[in-house]
Amino acid sequence: MTAFWSMVKKDYQMIFPKKYTLYAIAVLLFSISFGFLYLFSTVTQVPNATQIHWMYTWLLFALPGFSSALIYYEWNHKTMGWWLSSPYPHWWLIATKCTAMFLRTLQILSLIFIILNVNIYLFTLIKPNILGNMSWEVLILNQLKLMGEYLLYAPYLITLGIFGGVLNFSYIKFVSIPVWFLFGITSPFFIFRRIATMAKLNWDILDTSLWIIGSISLLLTFIFFAGSIYTIKNKMEI
């Protein structure tokens, strides 16, 4: 188990190497701050700001790319052969990268949460009535629910990215086309579901239980996880 977490730590640092971490945090801080200030230049109260979900939603689009980058990193640093020939089962190799990416997801969501709410607090000093009738407790709870919902999507998006990255270095590259197409048609569902919820729109197709969404996400996670294992075991070009 120590070896597993050692590999998780390596992959975790690979996502944002130390020399880039400060710059990544600075860019994230600036982007969120700018987006927040722009948002409140067009609305007057938080309850009416359905766009606030974008502060978190961009991560859904980024997760597959971040995950694929873990595979590209192995290839670009010529460690793919070492990675595949290490004395650990293939499922372990994929699991360490998925675990590392999930931990980074938690870190990024937490960072967004802190920065966003600090900005909201500072903005209340300028416009004391910015929250309207909404209490801080409700505002925080809504964001925590949003983060929880997105964490349900995260395993599917992470394993999709890993699978897509592995496919690019296999004999079956063509399979990556329908894989990324699936991402393209499911992402709008995530986005529109959140917009509909916040705007209180009665769209039946989007009013799906989180239990169902979580089950579908778990099923897709298993499929992409198994597909990644099969590919690195039987279809890699090296």
Question: Domain spans of the chain?
Answer: 2-234
Q: pLDDT tens for residues 123-148?
A: 777 777 767 777 788 788 878 888 88
Burial 42-62 (b: 16+ CB within 10 A, else e): eeeebbebbebbebbbebbee
pTM: predicted TM-score of the whole model, two decimal places: 0.82
Distance between CA 20 and CA 237 in Å, rounded? 31
Taking residues 46-53, report their average pLDDT.
56
Residue 95, pLDDT > 80, answer: yes
- 36 CB-side CA count, 13 A: 23
**Alpha-carbon radius of gyration of the chain:** 20
Q: Which of 108, 74, 219, 80 is nearest to 153 (CA)?
A: 219
Q: How many residues does the chain have?
A: 238
Structure confidence at residue 237 (pLDDT): 65
Determine which of 31-40, 58-67, 122-131, 196-205 has the lowest per-residue pLDDT on average.
Answer: 196-205
CB atoms within 10 A of CB 147: 17
The answer to whether 30 and 119 are in contact (CB under 8 A) is: no
- Asked whether the CA dihedral 77, 22, 13, 67 is positive or negative, the reply is negative
Residue 86, pLDDT > 90, answer: no
